[in-house]
Amino acid sequence: MSQTLKQKPTTHGFAKAAIKELGWWRAHKFLFLRRLSQVCVFALFAISPFIASWAGVWLLKGNLSASELFGVVPLSDPLATLQVLMTGHLPELSLILGAVIIVLLYAVLGGRVFCSWVCPVNMVTDLASWLRRKMNLPRTAEMPRNLRYYLLALVLILPVLTGMTVWEWLNPVPILYRAVLFGAGSGLWILAAIFLLDLFISERAWCGHLCPTGALFGLIGKVSPVKVSAVNAKDCDNCMDCFVVCPERQVLKPALKGKQPMITDSDCTQCGRCIDVCAQRVFQYQNRIALKAENNQ
């Protein structure tokens, strides 16, 4: 008790304790790795045409809606594919196969790993969230977290009613990709709108409450073995840094204060920021299946 009291003045402010304890690099490790991953996926799409014109091999062709890896492996957005199927159009096999590959990939890696490690919109909404913290903006009234599932249902019903993939007019994920890869910058107003929404109207509004793509990947991730776990929950000193930085803070409490340390809530994006900012090293990535095998032995 006396120790924590002594520490308090020197570690005041967000994540100061973690930076002091672990150093700046380790307190930002997963944030840095995530940005690297997001930028790399983007860059692979962007530089592929140049590599192709010079080495003759396309690394990644297309965009996040549908693409080709090495000119052979089809990859496609499960949400876009579902929308096409809902219109009643039977696409080429490669689109469906691409969606199956992506679903399997994220079912293994963790569903919303897409949101935090690949999706470019995450950079926009994280920036808004960071600015909110820096500007000390007050907490906003919270929208219901399950709005995204209603929106997902809407996105899948509209093609049935209209025969068009209506959501693709506004879906900010491919719009951001197309803006950069195909020079279609005029759609960026949607990204600006999301940024302002997150910054001034409702914190974490887009990725944390509304995005139907995130909702779908969350559902896919329910079966995933990779989870963040509060393995050292007993060391938690209630500094609240993880709550401040977590994009889905409702997932933390059951892990920290409940019976089971693993964050099984599929809303968790597995961004690893809670691991970064915790001076007490409470959190860790864990593999559910490996853990079970270990316990059985």
Partner 1 sequence: MSTVNQSKFAAKGVNRRQFLATSAKAGCAMGLLGMGLTAVAKQSSQLDPLAIRPPGALSEADFLSACVRCGLCVEACPYDTLKLARWFDGAPTGTPYFTARKIPCEMCEDIPCVKACPSGSLDHELTDIEDSKMGIAVLIDEKNCLNFKGLRCDVCYRVCPLIDDAITLEMQHNERSGHHAMFLPTVNSDSCTGCGKCEHVCVLEEPAIKVLPTHIALGKTASHDTYINTEETTLEMLNKGLEL
Q: Which residues bind partner 1 (CB under 8 A)?
A: 49, 58, 61-63, 65-68, 74, 76-77, 80-81, 84, 87-92, 94-95, 98, 144, 146-147, 150-151, 153-154, 157-159, 161-170, 174-175, 178, 181-187, 189-190
Least Cβ distance, residue 128 to partner 1 (angstroms): 21
Nearer to partner 1, 207 or 275 (CB): 207
Q: Which of 164, 201 has the CB closer to partner 1?
A: 164
Nearer to partner 1, 62 or 111 (CB): 62
Q: How far is the CB of 224 from partner 1 (least distance, A)?
A: 24
Q: Could you tell me which residues come within 8 angstroms of residue 271 by beta carbon, excluding any fewer than 6 positions away?
A: 30, 31, 34, 115, 116, 117, 247
CA 216 – CA 229 distance, rounded (Å) = 22
CA–chain centroid gap for 228, Å, is 14
Kindly tell me which of 29 and 61 has the beta carbon lying closer to partner 1.
61
Give the largest Cα separation in the chain, rounded.
Answer: 68
Residue of 40, 42, 35, 193 lying closest to 122 (CA atoms): 35
**Which C-beta is closer to partner 1: that of 126 or that of 267?**
267
Nearest to 275 by CA among 285, 267, 265: 285
Measured from the CB of residue 123, what is the shortest distance to partner 1 in angstroms?
20
CB of 238 to partner 1, least distance (A): 22
> Cα(first)–Cα(last) distance of the chain, in Å?
39
**By the 8 A CB rule, do 242 and 264 touch?**
no
Compute the least distance from the CB of residue 81 to partner 1, in Å: 7
**Of residues 10 and 53, the one with the C-beta less far from partner 1:** 53
Q: How far is the CB of 164 from partner 1 (least distance, A)?
A: 5
